[in-house]
């Protein structure tokens, strides 16, 4: 960077971690969900808890090299018109018949993909396939986590349409990283879900209904903060990054009145519920017999073409 002794990287508003919920939050959601499980599942999942935690970010990694992956993380409901949340078909074949598969893929498929991965996990339990049980459990946790992010339900996913560029990473990464130690994430035990497809849509519904507050409160708070107070700089290894200041983050967090914590808790509970439901539907196999089967590292093929990411997934680098 033009002879600078130190690399300065200005990352606008939380693009510090280029992933949904941030690496930190996805890993916390998967890890805490393990402790919602019944004793018949707990031993297996606790034995592999490091894998389940660390690999929670695998679906985000795949977004960089698989063009079909990105649509699995969100759904832009507002492109379908007013009341889309209530009018859209809940089941995949019905939605394809109404909108075509190309349209659905263009604007996100997260609620349907959650149900697909639940089916894949059920099949892994039926086949007593420990490796796939772990992989699909990890992926399912990730997609469920994404469905609980309000900005994953709108075309205005990073505030780019309302002059709030960067709000995506602010909400899903900056806030939980700063305030996580104050969260109470106890959710109780996992429960069986009779209709997982409708449950996936309930997650999207709770997120989308929170979207107005996410955007409106940030805009109102910005009117009260001068630029030099809204942002601050932090050292991240060899870089200096621009982030939302602690004071601005605290005030926004308080205006949201526990929203981030509530959405994390809902995600954790739903992950546990879906793991448990897949296990029951998969014949309730004796997981202790599979406990010593090691999970293999996921193989991700190299990209054959450049993958276009949504704008909140990359930082802006400026020479200093």
Task: For residue 180, tell me if it sits in a domain.
Answer: yes
* pLDDT, tens digit, 9 for 90 and up, residues 18-68: 345 678 999 999 999 999 999 999 999 999 999 999 999 999 999 888 999
pLDDT at residue 20, as a whole number: 55
Task: For residue 292, tell me if it sits in a domain.
Answer: yes
Task: For residue 31, tell me if it sits in a domain.
Answer: yes
Task: For residue 219, tell me if it sits in a domain.
Answer: yes
pLDDT at residue 294, as a whole number: 72
Q: Which residues contact 270 (CB under 8 A, 6 or more apart)?
A: 144, 148, 199, 203
* pLDDT, tens digit, 9 for 90 and up, residues 220-242: 999 999 999 999 998 888 888 89
Task: For residue 221, tell me if it sits in a domain.
Answer: yes
Q: Output the average pLDDT for the chain.
A: 88
pLDDT at residue 12, as a whole number: 36
Residue 256 belongs to domain spanning: 12-302
pLDDT at residue 301, as a whole number: 45
Task: For residue 279, tell me if it sits in a domain.
Answer: yes
The mean pLDDT value for 277-302 works out to 83
pLDDT at residue 309, as a whole number: 59
Task: For residue 73, tell me if it sits in a domain.
Answer: yes
* DSSP-assigned letters across all residues of the chain: -TT-SS-----GGGTTS-STTHHHHHHHHHHHHHTTS-HHHHHHHHHTHHHHHHGGGHHHHHTTT-TTTGGGG---GGGG-TTHHHHS-SSHHHHHHHH-HHHHHHH--HHHHHHHHHHHHHHHHHTT-HHHHHHHHHHHHHHHHHHT-GGGGSS-TTSTTTT-TTHHHIIIIIHHHHHGGG-----------S-HHHHHHHHHHHHHHHHHHHHHHHHHHHTTS-HHHHEEEEEETTEEEEEE-HHHHHHHHHHTTTHHHHHHHHHHHHHHHHHHHHHHHTT---GGGGTT-PPPPPP-PPPSSPPPPPGGGS------
Task: For residue 56, tell me if it sits in a domain.
Answer: yes
pLDDT score of 4 more than 70? no
Give the CATH number of the domain where residue 164 resides: 1.10.575.10
Q: How many domains does the chain have?
A: 1
pLDDT score of 302 more than 50? no
* pLDDT, tens digit, 9 for 90 and up, residues 144-196: 999 999 999 999 999 999 999 999 999 999 999 999 999 999 999 999 999 99
User: Which phi-psi region, left, alpha or beta, contains residue 195 (left: φ > 0; alpha: ψ -120 to 50)?
Assistant: beta
């Amino acid at each position: 960077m033009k002879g600078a002794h130190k690399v300065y990287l200005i990352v606008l508003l939380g693009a510090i971690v280029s992933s949904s919920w941030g690496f930190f939050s996805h890993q916390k959601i998967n890890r805490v969900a393990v402790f919602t499980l019944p004793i018949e599942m707990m031993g297996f999942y606790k034995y592999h808890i490091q894998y389940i935690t660390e690999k929670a970010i695998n679906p985000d990694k795949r977004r960089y090299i698989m063009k079909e992956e990105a649509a699995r993380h969100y759904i832009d409901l507002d492109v379908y018109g007013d009341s889309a949340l209530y009018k859209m078909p809940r089941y995949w074949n019905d939605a394809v018949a109404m909108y075509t598969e190309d349209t659905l893929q263009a604007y996100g498929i997260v609620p349907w993909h959650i149900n697909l991965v639940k089916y894949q996990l059920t099949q892994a339990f039926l086949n007593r396939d420990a490796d796939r049980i772990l992989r699909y459990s990890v992926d399912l946790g990730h997609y469920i986590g994404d469905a609980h992010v309000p900005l994953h339900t709108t075309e205005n996913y990073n505030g780019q349409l309302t002059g709030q560029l960067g709000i995506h990473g602010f909400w899903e990464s900056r806030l939980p990283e700063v305030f996580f130690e104050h969260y109470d994430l106890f959710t109780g035990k996992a429960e069986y879900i009779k209709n997982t497809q409708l449950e996936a849509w309930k997650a999207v519904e709770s997120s989308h209904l929170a979207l107005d507050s996410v955007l409106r409160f940030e805009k109102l708070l910005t009117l009260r903060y001068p630029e030099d107070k809204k942002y601050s700089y932090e050292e991240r290894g060899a870089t200096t990054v621009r982030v939302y200041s602690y004071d601005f983050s605290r005030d926004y967090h308080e205006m949201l009145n526990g929203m981030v914590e509530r959405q994390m808790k809902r995600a954790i509970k739903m992950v546990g519920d879906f793991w448990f439901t897949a296990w029951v539907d998969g014949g309730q196999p004796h997981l202790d017999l599979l406990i010593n089967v090691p999970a293999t590292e996921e193989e991700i093929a190299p990209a054959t073409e450049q993958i276009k990411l949504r704008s909140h997934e990359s930082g802006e680098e400026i020479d200093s």
